[in-house]
Amino acid sequence: MGGPQAIAAMAFGTRSIPKVDKIVGPGNAYVQAAKYLVSQYVGIDGIEGPPTELVVCADPSIDPGIVALDIMAQLEHSSAIA
């Protein structure tokens, strides 16, 4: 499960998902809106407004494949990369 429905399930609990104390992590605009809505009931890390910016700092000793994997991991948070 993911998205706003996961935020609600974690904030209030369900039969199979226990209520949590704090919800953290990135997400799209809908996830961020859900985090805002439940913030009066459960702790959150903050409202992160998409798009966010990412900078990768690496020296020549870093494997380029690892850098590429780090950047690819961010693709789920944005529909475009400039």
* Segments making up each domain of the chain, as ranges: 1-50, 51-82
pLDDT tens per residue across span 15-71: 999 999 999 887 888 999 999 999 999 999 988 765 556 678 889 999 999 988 888
pLDDT recorded at residue 53: 67
pTM (whole model) above 0.85: no
User: Which tokens hold the place of 42?
Assistant: 């459960």
Decide if 79 contacts 50 (C-beta within 8 A).
no
User: Which tokens hold the place of 61?
Assistant: 């000793």
The C-alpha angle 30, 34, 18, rounded to 5 degrees, equals 125
pLDDT recorded at residue 77: 60
HSE-CB at 4 with a 13 A cutoff on CA atoms is 10
pLDDT recorded at residue 47: 85
